[in-house]
Amino acid sequence: MPRLKPSQDVQPLSAFRANAAGFLEQVRTTKRPLVLTQHGRSAAVVLDVDEYEALVEQVEVIRDIRDAKAEMSRGEGIAHEEIVAELRSRLQP
C-alpha cells in the first residue's frame, strides 16, 4: 500500500461529504488510504477495495504463521520429512 500523504490524504468529513466521488476517485487512482476527520480527530479510513483485500490477506497469513509457531512450540507440529513422505505417497498412483 502506498504511503499516506497527510497533505492530501487527511480530510475533514465535511469535505468528503461535499466531494465524495472525487475523493473516492483519488483513493482508487493513488491506492493510498484517505483518513477522514471529525471535530479535528481521525474518525474513519477509506481504502481502495484491492488494497483492503490485500491487507486482510496479509493479516490472515501473519495469524496463520503465529498460530503455527505456537503449535510447534507446544510440540504439536509435524516434521517436514513426515509431511513430504505423506504427500509423495498420495501423489503416487
What are the tens digits of pLDDT across the range 55-68?
A: 999 999 999 999 99
Closest CA to 52 of 30, 33, 25: 33
What are the tens digits of pLDDT across the range 19-64?
A: 999 999 999 999 999 999 999 999 999 999 999 999 999 999 999 9
Closest CA to 30 of 13, 60, 51: 51
Residue whose C-alpha cell reads 501473519 in the numeric block = 62
Q: Which pLDDT does position 81 carry in this prediction?
A: 92
SS3 call for 19: coil
Contact 2, 30 (CB under 8 A): yes
pTM comes to 0.71
State yes or no: pLDDT of 6 exceeds 80: no
State yes or no: pLDDT of 8 exceeds 90: no
